[in-house]
Amino acid sequence: MEKQEFFEISEQVFANNHISEFWQGEKRDVLFDLCNIMLEQNKVMNLSAIRDESGVICRHFADSLTVAKHIPSGAKVLDVGSGGGMPALPLAVARPDLHITALDATAKKTAYIASAAQKLGLSNISTICGRAEELGNDVKYREKFDVVCARAVAELRILAEWCVPFAKKDGLFIAMKGKNGVAELDSAANAVKTLLISLEKDDSFNLFDISAQNEADAARHIFVFRKKAPTPSKYPRTNAQIQKKPL
């Protein structure tokens, strides 16, 4: 896609998703370059099922940036299961005030994120390769982040056990969910209680997505949880325990 068309579509999509503040100045050029880097890399490794520019603009960039308004200025943010760098990379472009760490279990994905960040000249993003439920017990990472977010990684009650240990006391755990969000929230009642977090906001809306196949796919819930107290030391448990008996 030519740059002018990319700019026209993005301007419309960002405006309709109320994130126009991030479609400004040089950020637009960096997002255009990121889209091209991602689509090119997707030809040689499986980064994403989305393989066209309109899909990247709507379902990666705009969707990722809907979380930005929930993240306080200057926060140290961990993106768990970042995959192809979503929401980490667009957030790093849009919010230079943040320091973002992208965590993923797959080394090829964290290597891609680091290489994309370097090509784009982003200095506010770093990567960690490993499994969340193991690194959450590592003193280097446990209770070290102001905000821990995740998109499209695991069911909420499992995701919470992976993510909450990384957040500082009084920090935030932000889960970006789609149409099953409410059902997942219901099933996560025990996880919320056990992990000593409380739901502060359910930001529910429809993503404006020109690439959507049907309307139900546009449903979004951003659940913002506050960590009320340090996570009990027995969490996170091993992956086998978590999968066998989710909280």
> Which CB sits closer to ligand SAM, 92 or 153?
153
Nearest distance in Å: CB 212, ligand SAM = 16
Nearest distance in Å: CB 127, ligand SAM = 12
> Which CB sits closer to ligand SAM, 7 or 126?
126
Whether 167 contacts 227, CB under 8 Å: yes
Phi, psi at residue 240, to the nearest 5°?
-60, -45
Nearest distance in Å: CB 28, ligand SAM = 21
Residue among 128, 115, 93 nearest 47 (CA): 115
Radius of gyration of the chain (CA): 17
Residues at the contact surface with ligand SAM, assessed by CB under 6 A? 81-84, 86, 103-106, 109, 131-133, 151-153, 162
Nearest distance in Å: CB 194, ligand SAM = 18
> Which CB sits closer to ligand SAM, 81 or 171?
81
Q: 10 Å Cβ neighbour count for 247?
A: 19
Nearest distance in Å: CB 2, ligand SAM = 25
> Which CB sits closer to ligand SAM, 80 or 185?
80
Measured from each CB, the residue nearest to ligand SAM is 83
Nearest distance in Å: CB 109, ligand SAM = 5
> Which CB sits closer to ligand SAM, 24 or 115?
115
> Which CB sits closer to ligand SAM, 75 or 102?
102
Nearest distance in Å: CB 25, ligand SAM = 26
> Which CB sits closer to ligand SAM, 99 or 151?
151
Assigned token pair, 221: 């819930």
